[in-house]
A and B are shown apart, each in its own frame.
Chain A
């Protein structure tokens, strides 16, 4: 579903990704770990299409399309979802309104019928239960004044409504309390199916107890330097990244 070949990417003169390869099949969950500043968020940004990040080499194929040729919002409508490491606040813009606008923009792009507000409300009600979201958060402006954990949960809530084909979760577990961690993991697990894939960026193997990955990769200095199964995460927990120096 996603095939990243030899991606080189930079911001200004700062080379961040240096020949990264990754192949993800439908239904797979790939965890990406690695030291601070390795380029994990940058990988997410490259896939989402952030303009600031310039791709100088390599290709990305997503469901048969050349992803790098698409605009940000086209990629979203094609099924790419990025749960941000630092979700931004949009003052005064109601969360529900925002989410419906997003969903309908995507549906329109895909040639599907737009959802009216009652259909949308129904969808929200079911998801809100699954996610144990406080519904007052939905009536508030997007992320404005949300606590760190609330913002992360809101990202996953948005994901569950938008039902993407490939979701990239960038440290969604950071800042979550234990209960919230389980709820977020539940949210992800409910969406898991044979056609939907996940890239889970995390620093802690704890999350991977709940969202069990098919593969674990170590991203360091702009490249995937090691890949393995879940046991790699457990090993990293013990060894840290000191071995990268050798």
Chain B
């Protein structure tokens, strides 16, 4: 069986070499894995739960989700052409064998995995990271998830001193069951949607963060997701709780090998923000987008939602979406606490045959709640890029305000940009502003830049950067640099 996989990967090596320039993280780590055979049924769910030595309540929760999922249908309201997914052809659990006896420290981690993350530019050695601080980098604690399991989490001890819990979800279930139980499924209920129900049934790993009262997390936290194994899906679940007066900035990045088959990634993220607390959640999504003919790539079907339960709670989602064959993602904010605020800053770039249907929901429940939506869609090649957003003002959301700005930029003639803003207001005191623009990189702009000596490629990247500026400035510094570079790479071949 592994023999076969190898040859098919070799066969495609030629094609891959060409794409490699545009997707530099598309390599495969050759590592022995404990992978479930493909298929989805109750047995598989029990097996996942058993692997993770979960308590009965969690298994019951999974099974309930599975039963619900069986009654549901794949949503088709998005402006996406999704090929049929055979859920029985996917493996729902895969873990590197070397990870079996949960490595205690970085020194116990399989060198092949360390090498993988080094190649991906994800620093894991705490000493080296701290040494780098003096020169330029601010330290970032990272939880690395490889296929279905968390490999290691850095700076745990440091964080613990501040009372911050940062660990894999599986560990949280063991070590902090009360917290997990209290919040699990509270903002994304089991039956919320088809993919969240599937995730609830089969989720494997993800990150768990708890920031105690009146604590500002001493460093930025991050999770790096990597899909490696063939024919597996990644179903991670992340939960962040910011207690009263707490503050945290969390970053998330992800990559996968280049393969001709589509792979499914269906994550759920739940954020809880209590009184006067703040969460800043940033994503740079760079899943393998498929090749220039639209073959392969990740299906990224993700449910992310934040509950601003407290007064003055604040959440901001910033996402830079350049990867995935198909993206279906609407990070949302439930603004329950009075004066709570939700922000959504998004850059979504599609090239070749990529499709993205992404946006947000701002649900205003509390008084004087405020939300801001800034969405920048860039379409190139034959791709389709859709913004879909809902702003709902409930009856008791006196004085609620929303500002929405949706800009689309088209590169070339064969791509599409679409905007679907939905507004539902049940309170007449609400102030809602909506602006939308669609523009092209004009020949005149390119001529102007080139006349000054700037190449077409550099001019395009400059114009795109300019277009995304308002979103990039919301990203932590180093992420912004990475995001810019990623846009440039993703746009390669889009001009000329």
Contact = CB atoms under 8 A, between A and B. Distances in A.
Do A and B pair up? The answer is yes
Interface of A: 48-52, 71-73, 75-77, 80-82, 84, 87-88, 90-93, 97-99, 101-103, 105-106, 109, 141, 158, 162
B463 A93 contact: yes
Nearest to A48: B451
Contact of B466 (A71, A76, A92, A103): A92
B463 A102 contact: no
Nearest to B470: A92
A72 B445 CA distance: 13
Contact of B454 (A81, A87, A101): A101
B448 interface: yes
Contact of B465 (A48, A49, A82, A93): A93
Contacts of A81: 451
A77 B445 CA distance: 18
Given A90-B445, A101-B458, A76 B453 contact: yes
Contacts of A73: 450-451, 453-456
Given A52-B443, A90-B448, A106 B463 contact: no
Interface in B445-488: 445, 447-456, 458, 462-463, 465-470
Given A88-B442, A88-B444, A105-B458, A93 B466 contact: yes
A72 B462 contact: no
B448 A84 contact: yes
Contacts of A49: 450-451
Given A76-B453, A97-B462, A101-B454, 5 more contacts: A71-B450, A80-B451, A88-B444, A93-B465, A105-B455
Nearest to A52: B443
Contact of B453 (A52, A87, A109): A109
A98 B449 CA distance: 8
A92 B453 contact: no
A82 B448 CA distance: 9
Contact of B451 (A82, A101, A109): A82
9 contacts: A73-B450, A73-B453, A88-B445, A90-B448, A90-B462, A91-B466, A92-B467, A102-B452, A102-B454
Contacts of A106: 452-453
A91 B463 CA distance: 7
Contacts of B451: 48-49, 72-73, 75-76, 80-82, 84
Given A52-B443, A91-B467, A101 B462 contact: yes
A72 B466 contact: no
A231 B112 CA distance: 81
Contact of B450 (A52, A76, A90, A103): A76
B448 A87 contact: yes
Interface in B54-73: none
Contacts of A50: 447
Nearest to A108: B453
A223 to B, nearest CB: 25
Nearest to B452: A102
B107 to A, nearest CB: 42
Nearest to A50: B447
Nearest to A75: B451
A155 to B, nearest CB: 10
A14 B465 CA distance: 37
Contacts of B467: 91-92
Sorted from nearest, which 7 A-B pairs have the closest CB atoms? A92-B466, A102-B452, A93-B466, A76-B453, A106-B453, A72-B450, A105-B453
Interface string B413-453: 00000000000000000000000000000111101111111
B450 A98 contact: no
A148 B61 CA distance: 66
A90 B466 contact: yes
Nearest to A101: B454
Nearest to A109: B453
Contacts of A162: 452-453
Interface centre among A80, A98, A99 (most CB of B within 10 A): A98
A97 B465 CA distance: 12
A87 B456 CA distance: 18
B471 to A, nearest CB: 11
A55 to B, nearest CB: 16
B453 to A, nearest CB: 4
A52 B447 CA distance: 10
A41 B444 CA distance: 14
B132 to A, nearest CB: 23
Nearest to A84: B448
A92 B465 contact: yes
A107 B110 CA distance: 48
Contacts of A92: 463, 465-470
Interface in B330-382: none
Contact of A90 (B449, B453, B456): B449
Contacts of A84: 448, 451
B15 to A, nearest CB: 31
B356 to A, nearest CB: 21
B187 to A, nearest CB: 34
A76 B452 contact: yes
From B443, B456, B462, name the one whose CB has the most chain A CB atoms within 10 angstroms. B462
A71 B470 CA distance: 33
A77 B466 contact: no
A109 B454 CA distance: 10
Given A90-B466, A91-B467, A93-B463, A105 B445 contact: no
Nearest to A93: B466
A50 B448 CA distance: 10
A82 B449 CA distance: 11
Contacts of A90: 445, 448-449, 462-463, 466
A98 B452 CA distance: 9
